Amino acid sequence: MGRIFVSAGHGEIEGGVTQDPGAIAGGTTEAQQMILLRDLVVPELRSRGFEVFSVPDTLSLRDTIRWINNRARQEDVAIELHADAYSNPSARGATAFYIAGNNERKQHGDMVLLALIRRLPQLPSRGSRPDTATGVGRLGFCRDIAIPSLLLEVGFLTNPDDRNLILNRRRDMATGIADGLEAWSRDVSGTTQPEQSYPAIGIRINGQSYGEQGILINNNSYIPVDLVDLLGVELGDNPKVRLVEYRGVVYVKAIELRDYTISVSWDNDARAVVLRSITQICPGTIDRIMSQGNTSEVQLMMFLKANHENALEQFPDLPKLYREEAAIEGVNYDIAFSQMCLMTNFLRFGGEVKASQKNFANLGAVGGGTQTAT
């Protein structure tokens, strides 16, 4: 099995002073945050049995490349962690950069990004991009290292939402990156982890069957983590919550949701875990337009992505904006958001209204080629 090299972008610490802080925003620096992130990724990988090299923070980029090349051998991989920055604070999302023209490396970048987003669905993915798409036209970390290498931008430090994830969901981010690095390393070295087999179980929520199944591990029920988001539960960096990845799906131990207003029990006859949300919903208001919505931003996001995987690429802040604006106007954002999904075919558009018009309610669309509102 190959080894993994992990480098924190920028830094170059001399005499305790950071010579290159990288991006600066929100009272913190890229170098500081990437060192903290790397220091979680490395032990996570080691706990899984990987031999991991943490690149010293005292090295420049040129010395980092030399340091890795002097130690690298066949089947090893290397990654450098960065945070992006842009003059427009609305720019956000994670990107994996690879050496241009290498389709295999692009697939590896996609692999790492997918694992990261599975752990942190609130973080948009900007996809894998060739290093020629950067402002400098080439990335030494992608081109000059002798082993397969990627440069991962984990989000925009200049975007408040991404910065919040980088600062406050660091452990989830590190675990997702470790998941991706594990999959990438095994793919490069041609090794596969012996797959354990867990029995499937049913899931019932508030008296109704849920479409996906859970799994049973050591007589404990685990449910898909996206269901946790749909229930409005924010797990954050709670170290007590155990996440398990199994056959491409991340699961959470159901019993640990009891601390989040979720009742958890077991139906032995149906072999199903029974969940009941005890969050109060005002009766008689759920179908009123002028009322309060009940879903969280993550729930809206997951609902949209479940019906159109790439829906948020062009409008990443739409769920957040619907909740904020509807709250100001006293509108039930659940209904308004559902109307948007219906009218735009879950942001696929294709009808009379174009995406560029930002007319999510199809105002003025009466058919017959009539010009709609913009």
Beta bridge partners of residue 5, listed in sequence order = 53, 78
User: pTM of the entire structure?
Assistant: 0.57
Locate 147 and state its tokens: 């082993």
- Is 60 exceeded by the pLDDT of residue 233? yes
Under 8 Å between Cβ of 187 and 110: no
pLDDT tens, residue by residue, 255-283: 888 877 788 899 999 999 998 875 544 55
Q: What is the DSSP string of 36-85?
A: HHHHHHHHHHHHTT--EEE--TT--HHHHHHHHHHH--TT-EEEEEEEE-
Beta bridge partners of residue 265, listed in sequence order = 274
pLDDT tens, residue by residue, 73-131: 999 999 999 999 999 999 999 999 999 999 999 999 999 999 999 889 899 999 999 99
Torsion of CA 266, 264, 206, 230, to 10 degrees: -120
Overall average pLDDT of the 218-241 stretch? 74
Q: How many helices (H) and strands (E) does the chain have?
A: 10, 18
List the Cα angle 229/125/294 in 5-degree steps.
Answer: 25
- Is 50 exceeded by the pLDDT of residue 251? yes
- Is 90 exceeded by the pLDDT of residue 197? no
pLDDT, mean over the chain: 85
Locate 145 and state its tokens: 């290292």
**Residues whose CB falls within 8 Å of the CB of residue 214, separated by 6 or more in sequence, listed in order:** 200, 201, 202, 203, 221, 222, 223, 224, 251, 254, 273
Q: Cβ–Cβ contacts within 10 Å for residue 70, how many?
A: 8
C-alpha separations of 154 from 52, 58, 118, 266, 313 in Å: 20, 22, 13, 39, 16
Overall average pLDDT of the 288-299 stretch? 77
pLDDT tens, residue by residue, 136-175: 889 999 999 999 999 999 999 999 999 999 999 999 999 9
Domains of the chain with CATH codes = 4-189 (3.40.630.40), 200-277 (no CATH), 282-374 (no CATH)
pLDDT at 281: 47
